[in-house]
Chain A
Amino acid sequence: MNLLEVKHLKKHYETHKAVDDVSFGIEQGSIFGLLGPNGAGKTTLLRMITGIFYPDEGQILFNGQKFDPENDVQHIGYMPEERGLYKKMMVGEQTLYLAQLKGLSRKDAVQKIKFWFDKFDINSWYNKRVDELSKGMQQKVQFISTIIHQPKLLILDEPFSGLDPINSNLIKQEIFNLSQQGTTIIFSTHRMEQVEEICDHIMLLNKGHKILDGSVAQIQQDFKQGLFKVGLGTMPNPAQMATYHFNIVQTHDKAFTVKMNEDSTTNDILLHFIRQDIPVTYFEEILPSINEVFITQVQQTENSNANVAALPLA
């Protein structure tokens, strides 16, 4: 079942279309990557999903019902890209305040805070002022206050920015845990290496339009270019490599990257080496990274829309 269903969503500003006719669905318990260059409309889209903005047109369904910001925000946790906490407030008090605003009773909130502060081993910060903490520490507090009310939908905008590798890993682990417990997660970023690692499903947004949508594996399949890497025991001489089935794209130390021709199969490539008695040590398909897909797709839409003036996003 889809926890979130977005249909033909539009949000126009005075001078440009921030989100223009975007539709997608997010399956319950999945991790959904929202990708796009700066100014693609990610933040505007997320603000509509969190009830901060009203869409001009289109529909949002939350849990199968028409999205009702007033009540549904209790089930959403949103960590904006620009983090913010009250600098002069105590860490514990602040978390308690934010949790209560999400509808938790004081008693429940205190209990949850205890649980998470124990888990992240930050009990000693409880009575510290936020501006006494380092940026990374503040990030942890922010993360806890985002998930404390056990949201059904968790929206994380660039959750790893400013975190060291250890804390990054800690948060990443938590994201996986929450996902396993059934939390649906929207993960917005322009850092592609994290997307492949974390997301089940991605959507690529550029200039307010959806340009790509699908599972990570599917997208890699869709955009693969028939590239394979072949590891060889001995390097053959160039005369041995003339074949109809593939071209050599790159030569490595005891390996080639080859591009398979359209009518050929992987067995054709392997047979070519085997027939010439060249030992094959390994053979693997090279799938495009999401980063490559992202760049080529964005550039493509850029070129096709070259006559449309680029407008800055608020």
Chain B
Amino acid sequence: MEKIWLIIKREFFTRVRKKSFLITTLLVPLAFAAMIIVPIILSTTSTEHKRIAVVDKSGLFENKIPDSKGVYFKYLQHQNIDSLKLHYSELGYEGVLYLPEFDINRPSGFEFYSSGQASVNIESSINKDINSVIEKKRMEMRGIDQSKMDEIRSDVEVIFKNGKDEKKGNSWVAYGVGYGSGFIIYFILLLFGTSVMRGVMEEKVSRIAEVMISSVKPFQLMMGKIIGIAAVGLLQFFIWGILVTGIYMLVPLFFSPESMQAAATTQADPQQTAEIIHRMRDVVGSINWALLVPCFLLYFLGGYLFYSSLYAAIGSLANEDASDIQQLTIPVTVPIIIGIMIMMKAVQDPGSPLAVWGSIIPFTSPMVMMARLPYGVPGTVPYWQLILSFVCLIGGFMGTTWVAGRIYRTGILMYGKKITLKEAMKWVVRKP
């Protein structure tokens, strides 16, 4: 036990002390922070004003198109459109909107001129605004009262509740959280699995393996590496957790609530903002975090142990020629990819047989179960499924580490010739 502890420590500290660890650990939350902060900064400090010249020959639109987000419309009714088209940029305009006289029943001939392609935002908002002006005009002509029209409009939302306690559910939130955590597990399995594999390859190719094996058992060496790398991952999660919460809490200190709202909503309508904040609380409250977070850690560890030992076994088959390894990893990588595919289905339909079985079979369960859990336990995922899934995963990783350990101890000392998987499978049953 003392030896395996020494190995874990070495694996952990050599990785943690590397510059690349520091960089990824700090860059990820920074990228996350940037995703929140940059839009706020852009929306509050944007000094760029786009001015658009409007030549309205119909006289219908004057002052009816609202200015928004730094886009201002300037009405130049009496300008000649042909000369304006040539000189608008010298006059300080971004573009020219030309609205000719038209038949109200068959509107056509509206044009927008600019030097480059108009942005999608401007394009769609101009379209929307012009159409609404025309609609209003038509209603007026047919004697429909605008206020009556507003009364007729309906904006009801069905509230979806689940469970006996009638907790307000939100399938979009479950979808998002399920998809996100399933994907994170997928990345962890691939990323950390290959990290274990490369570590084993390095030991084999640099020939330290034989020196090590003369001091410790191969299984200790393998497990020490796997646990050491898992510890690195957990530390990274922990730091990210702290940094992300920290950033979330610090952001409001640097920006006024008004600017936060401006970033969150296109039109800073206080009532709408209040509703969004209220909904966000609902969203966070609709997920059973006390269950989800421990499950995430358990599926992370279980899935990682399941696959990383297989990756270690593959790494032990490597030779100086590293190109062979690509082919050897296929049997391990394919189940992970199948898992992410089932996960994508399961997050849409968490009760389907594919999702249920995918969340029980240990090859795919870490990803698929994480996609199902946010939909609710025991509502969508009965307790027996969760327990069976755990038991299968624990049995599964004990099985894979046993098989991998047997391949590893032979492979790590086998030099010179190319090893096929078929050969490696024979080592599983053979005496060392």
Contacts and interface: CB of A to CB of B under 8 A. Distances in A.
B13 to A, nearest CB: 9
A52 B3 contact: no
B337 interface: no
A82 B3 CA distance: 23
Interface string B8-43: 001000100000000000000000000000000000
Contact of B414 (A54, A78, A314): A314
Nearest to B5: A100
B416 interface: yes
B206 A85 contact: yes
Contacts of B432: 53-54
Q: Which of A78, A86, A87 has the most CB of B within 10 A?
A: A86
B78 interface: no
B292 to A, nearest CB: 38
A47 B414 CA distance: 13
B206 A52 contact: no
A215 B256 CA distance: 91
Given A53-B432, A84-B206, A85-B208, A101 B415 contact: no
B413 interface: yes
Contacts of B211: 78-80, 84-85, 98, 142, 145
Interface string A63-98: 000000000010010111011111111000000011
Chain A binding surface, main DSSP class: loop
Question: Interface residues of B toward A: which range?
Answer: 20 to 34
Nearest to A74: B215
B142 interface: no
Contacts of B208: 84-86
B161 interface: no
Given A83-B207, A84-B208, A101 B216 contact: yes
Q: Which of B7, B206, B414 has the most CB of A within 10 A?
A: B206
A80 B213 CA distance: 11
B341 interface: no
Contacts of A142: 211
B160 to A, nearest CB: 54
B414 A101 contact: no
A56 B431 CA distance: 8
Interface string B268-281: 00000000000000
Given A73-B215, A101-B215, A314-B417, A84 B209 contact: yes
B214 interface: yes
Given A54-B431, A101-B215, A80 B6 contact: no
Q: Which of A80, A86, A98, A101 has the most CB of B within 10 A?
A: A101
Contacts of B426: 14
Given A53-B432, A80-B207, A88 B216 contact: no
A51 B207 contact: no
A100 B6 contact: yes
B212 interface: yes
Nearest to A130: B206
Given A54-B431, A88-B14, A314 B206 contact: no
Interface string B391-421: 0000000000000000000000111110000
A53 B216 CA distance: 12
A52 B215 CA distance: 9
Nearest to B205: A84
A281 B6 CA distance: 67
A165 B207 CA distance: 25
A208 to B, nearest CB: 18
Contacts of A83: 207
A97 B10 contact: yes
B214 A87 contact: no
A101 B212 contact: yes
Contacts of B6: 97, 100-101
A15 to B, nearest CB: 12
B135 interface: no
A201 interface: no
A260 to B, nearest CB: 48
B215 A102 contact: yes
Contacts of A257: none
B210 A84 contact: yes
A98 B206 CA distance: 15
Interface string A112-146: 00000000000000000000000000000010010
Q: Which of B10, B211, B214 has the most CB of A within 10 A?
A: B214
Given A73-B215, A97-B6, A101-B216, A52 B416 contact: no
Interface string B361-395: 00000000000000000000000000000000000
A52 B14 contact: no
Contacts of B414: 314
B198 to A, nearest CB: 12
Interface string B235-258: 000000000000000000000000
A218 B382 CA distance: 80
A60 to B, nearest CB: 15
A48 B105 CA distance: 96
Contacts of B212: 101
Contact of B210 (A52, A89, A98): A52
Nearest to A101: B215
B213 A52 contact: yes
Contacts of A50: 214
Contacts of B3: 101
A89 B210 CA distance: 17
A78 B416 contact: no
B206 A87 contact: yes
Given A78-B211, A87-B206, A314-B416, 20 more contacts: A14-B426, A47-B413, A52-B214, A54-B431, A80-B211, A80-B214, A84-B206, A84-B207, A84-B208, A86-B202, A86-B206, A88-B14, A97-B6, A97-B10, A98-B215, A101-B212, A101-B215, A102-B215, A314-B414, A314-B417
Interface pairs A-B: 4 shortest CB-CB: A84-B207, A84-B208, A78-B214, A101-B215
